[in-house]
Amino acid sequence: MWIYEKKLEYPVHIKNKDLKLAKCIMAQYGGPDGELSASLRYLAQRHTMPTGKSKALLNDIGTEELAHVEIVCAIIYQLTKDATPEELKEAGLGGYFTQHDNALYPADANGVPWTAAFIQSIGDPVTDLTEDMAAEQKARTTYEHLIALADDPDVIDPLKFLWAREVVHFQRFGEALVDVQERLNSKRFF
């Protein structure tokens, strides 16, 4: 179980609307390489990890990814706050508005709804940790693309925080992979 603090892991204080950028940032909410996919992937994979250390790492990072979902949602909400239906339509969000109004719904930047098909959990710890490292690199790259698209420091700041966490998660998964491989090799598992 978790202890939940009712505040974002990193503050988001966006003052200006930017509906087109919000649409792009949705990739990190409901996209295949987004935070929701990462959190569910890691929280599922933790059960088949062979060491307490690797189970704990996946639990911790999976939980942190849920905090990142909150941050991404806060960014999107603040970028679209008080948008009119006409503004949403102009930004290419008319279909989204039709189905969800101004609510946050997990879809990618193209409006494709989130699906469990976006996550992978195969049960082999080496394969899963390698997949996790790749997932963190894809998320890092996506944040780099979003930062390149943004021009508002109020948006860029939390995006840079999220980018940095992807780098740290990649490193931790690499360490866990080495630890798991040593464990598996010491017992002659093939």
Asked, for residue 12, whether it belongs to a domain, the answer is: no
DSSP for residue 91: T
Task: Give CA separation, 90 vs 78, 105, 165, in Å.
Answer: 18, 19, 33
- Give the whole-angstrom CA distance, residue 33 versus residue 28: 7
Residue 48, burial from CB neighbour count under 10 angstroms (0-12, 13-18, 19+): middle
We report the CATH number of the domain holding residue 82 as 1.20.1260.10
Residue 70 annotated as binding? no
Q: What pLDDT does 188 receive?
A: 64
Look at residue 4 and tell me if it is in a domain.
Answer: no
- 152 marked as part of a ligand binding site: no
13 is annotated as contributing to ligand binding: no
pLDDT in tens, 98-108: 999 889 999 99
DSSP state of 49: -
36-84 pLDDT, tens per residue? Answer: 999 999 999 999 999 999 999 999 999 999 999 999 999 999 999 999 9
DSSP per-residue letters across 22-64: HHHHTHHHHSTTSHHHHHHHHHHHGGG-SSHHHHHHHHHHHHH
Domain span holding position 172: 19-186
Distance (Å, whole) CA 67 – CA 39: 9
Using pLDDT thresholds of 50, 70 and 90, give the confidence band for residue 189. Answer: low
Q: What is the pLDDT of residues 110-168, one digit of tens each?
A: 999 999 999 989 999 999 999 999 999 999 999 999 999 999 999 999 999 999 999 99
Residue 56 lies in a domain: yes
pLDDT at 6: 86
Residue 47 annotated as part of some ligand binding site: no
pLDDT score for 1: 60
Q: How many domains does the chain have?
A: 1
pLDDT, tens digit (0-9, with 9 covering 90-100), for 6-31: 899 999 999 999 999 999 999 999 99
Q: Quick one: pLDDT at residue 39?
A: 98
Residue 180 has pLDDT above 90, yes or no: yes
What was the pLDDT predicted at 17?
Answer: 97
Amino acid sitting at position 16: N
- Establish whether 144 is an annotated binding residue: no
Query: What is the reported pTM?
Result: 0.94
